[in-house]
Amino acid sequence: MKGKKTLTFLLMDAPFENARTTTALRLIDIAARRGYDINVFAYEGAVYLPFAAQKQHANAVHGHDVVQEDHPLPREWVEAVVLEAAKNGGRVDWVNCGLCVDERGAVDAVAGVRRGSPADFWKMATASDNTLVIATK
Amino acid sequence: MADYLMIESRDPFDSSDVANFLALAEGLSKAGNKVTLFLVQNGVLPARHGARSAPLAVLAANGVEVLADSFSLSERGISANRLIPGIKAAPLDLVVDRLAAGCRALWH
């Protein structure tokens, strides 16, 4: 693809906690729709973003069952951007920090996620057109 | 001279260090760099009239391009006509545009 770009994102926030996660996935989704090659290095709590065991739940306070509540799951967002990038001729290389995974027991991740180390982030950044670090507060 | 993309996700009511980030934007601009300040999430709150918006107005008047994420504005019920002069609504796509163009990007 002419003009194809490679962008790297470093994420640190755990899911369900901060709007930074939503904004990060919005940015990645935009890049995926353009068919860019996208690298994501998930550090610390962010390794739970693609955690395969995330489940929807009901909301008794609002009187919603599981279907009515339709609680969004970040693992589905991760799967969606991986598919979207592939559909448009790009790819998402999502690397979970291995030590962060072990500390948290976040071993089971959705398809398209691999294990790595901060050295992978350095390699990704070096090989990219640009890198955005979205650090936690 | 370089192009900088500075992304402010915090608001001055919650985070006192927003002032430091804006000071950095001012300093980079005064040093001759092209600086874009992109407000996102609660970072759009001071883009309104009377909401501690003075520092943003000063930046905009002194050559910093100040933009506010249109989605973040909509989420918070802020219409574009409530923004102070010098600040424009823009889609998040602009951030990806600037990243792809090689801007030096900082997130706060």
Domain span holding position B14: 3-107
Residues of A with CB below 8 A from B96's CB?
7, 27, 30-31, 34
CATH code of the domain containing B56:
3.40.1260.10
pLDDT tens-place string over residues B44-97: 999 998 888 999 999 999 999 999 999 999 999 999 899 999 999 999 999 999
pLDDT at A1: 47
Whether A23 sits inside 8 A of B42 (CB atoms) is no
| % of chain B exceeding 90 in pLDDT | 94
Per DSSP (E only), the strands in B12-54 are: 34-39
Share of chain A above pLDDT 70, in %: 99
ipTM here: 0.95
Tell me the per-residue pLDDT of A31-79, one tens digit each, with 9 for 90 and over: 999 999 999 999 999 999 999 999 999 999 999 999 999 999 999 999 9
Backbone φ and ψ of A126, nearest 5° = -65, -35
Q: What is the rounded (10 degree) CA torsion for B12, A22, A136, B75? A: 10
pLDDT at A3: 75
pTM as predicted: 0.95
Overall number of domains in chain B: 1
Using a CB-CB cut-off of 8 Å, the residues of chain B touching A20 are 9, 41
Domain ranges in chain A are 6-134
The rounded distance, in Å, linking the Cα atoms of A48 and A14 is: 6
Q: Which chain B residue is nearest to residue A4, measuring alpha carbons? A: B100
Q: What CATH superfamily classification does A6-134 receive? A: DsrEFH-like (3.40.1260.10)
